[in-house]
Amino acid sequence: MYALFRRFTDQRALLKQLLFNPASLTAATIGLAVALFALSPALLEAIELNWLDLRFRLRGQLAPGPAVVV
């Protein structure tokens, strides 16, 4: 029983070491971004437009400048 528990904890430690190191987290993040862009650009565009709306709402209204642009 102890050998089985020890084997399980060794595998768990190895998995934790592989998954939570900076290189694998960076690769996973880049892979996720590439997959999202390749599979659903409409989804990313909707997210970007929502963030843009939020930024404008947080900024508030700005008074127009004195210069006239035609």
Structure confidence by residue, pLDDT tens digits, 29-48: 999 988 888 887 888 888 89
The Cα 38–Cα 59 span in angstroms is 32
User: What is residue 5's predicted lDDT score, i.e. its pLDDT?
Assistant: 52
Token pair 């565009």 is found at 45
Is the pLDDT score of 2 beyond 60? no
Is the pLDDT score of 3 beyond 90? no
Token pair 């409409």 is found at 42
Is there a contact between 10 and 2 (Cβ–Cβ < 8 Å)? no
> Which backbone phi and psi does 59 adopt, to 5 degrees?
-70, -35
pTM score, two decimals?
0.43
Q: Is 30 helix (H, G, I), strand (E, B) or coil?
A: helix
User: What is residue 55's predicted lDDT score, i.e. its pLDDT?
Assistant: 96
Is the pLDDT score of 15 beyond 80? no
